[in-house]
Chain A
Amino acid sequence: AQSVTQLDSHVSVSEGTPVLLRCNYSSSYSPSLFWYVQHPNKGLQLLLKYTSAATLVKGINGFEAEFKKSETSFHLTKPSAHMSDAAEYFCVSYQAGTALIFGKGTTLSVSS
């Protein structure tokens, strides 16, 4: 069965420092993987997607993620955090013929 585990429920960084949000997936086959962002009192917005093309995926607002099959990971990174990055981030897995699986979310706090 598919599952998605976001390893940190809360990450705090200072503005201008790197961001790392960790996600591990479990699937019998290579799934499609996504990161979504949710700003306070807003709906979710797609940040980036992996669909078995390039393993390093670039998204919006300077975020990127690397698919590592050997580690079953799809961690989200950004070289330099901005105050506007403070939000909740969801790692999502999809496999054809099944439902989307959402991780429980990681709250990113950015301090000045």
Chain B
Amino acid sequence: NAGVTQTPKFQVLKTGQSMTLQCAQDMNHNSMYWYRQDPGMGLRLIYYSASEGTTDKGEVPNGYNVSRLNKREFSLRLESAAPSQTSVYFCASSNPLPGEQYFGPGTRLTVT
């Protein structure tokens, strides 16, 4: 089992460009999450999907969109990247207890 995988590992964007971060899990988990991690801020939830076909906003959803493509895949899209979105992005999945999450290795995004 690969667990939770994320692509790409690193990305540099110019302001205004768009991109999609991909996440997949092979643990048959119902719930999936996107977080961003910034120094001194811990992890902040961007969006989550409690089950296939549903998505909900987290603490910091502005500037992002998500798609739960199927049970395995949950993507995060930046439509028009801004320097404030420079961060490390983590995808996670869980089942059944939401607190017991499995994290991917992260995507380090820089927006110039």
Contact = CB atoms under 8 A, between A and B. Distances in A.
Nearest to B108: A41
A93 B90 CA distance: 18
A102 B43 contact: yes
| B interface, size bucket | 20 to 34
Contacts of A92: 99
A109 interface: no
B103 A43 contact: yes
A110 to B, nearest CB: 21
B42 A44 contact: no
A99 B45 contact: yes
A34 interface: yes
A82 interface: no
A64 B96 CA distance: 23
B103 A90 contact: no
Interface class of chain A by DSSP = strand
Contacts, number: 52
Contacts of A42: 105-106
B42 A103 contact: yes
A41 B10 CA distance: 11
A19 B41 CA distance: 23
A12 interface: no
B98 A100 contact: yes
A104 B99 contact: no
Interface of A: 9, 32-34, 41-46, 49, 51, 90, 92-94, 99-100, 102-105
Closest A-B pairs by Cβ, 3 of them: A43-B103, A94-B99, A102-B42
11 contacts: A41-B106, A43-B4, A43-B105, A44-B90, A44-B103, A46-B102, A90-B42, A94-B99, A102-B44, A104-B40, A105-B42
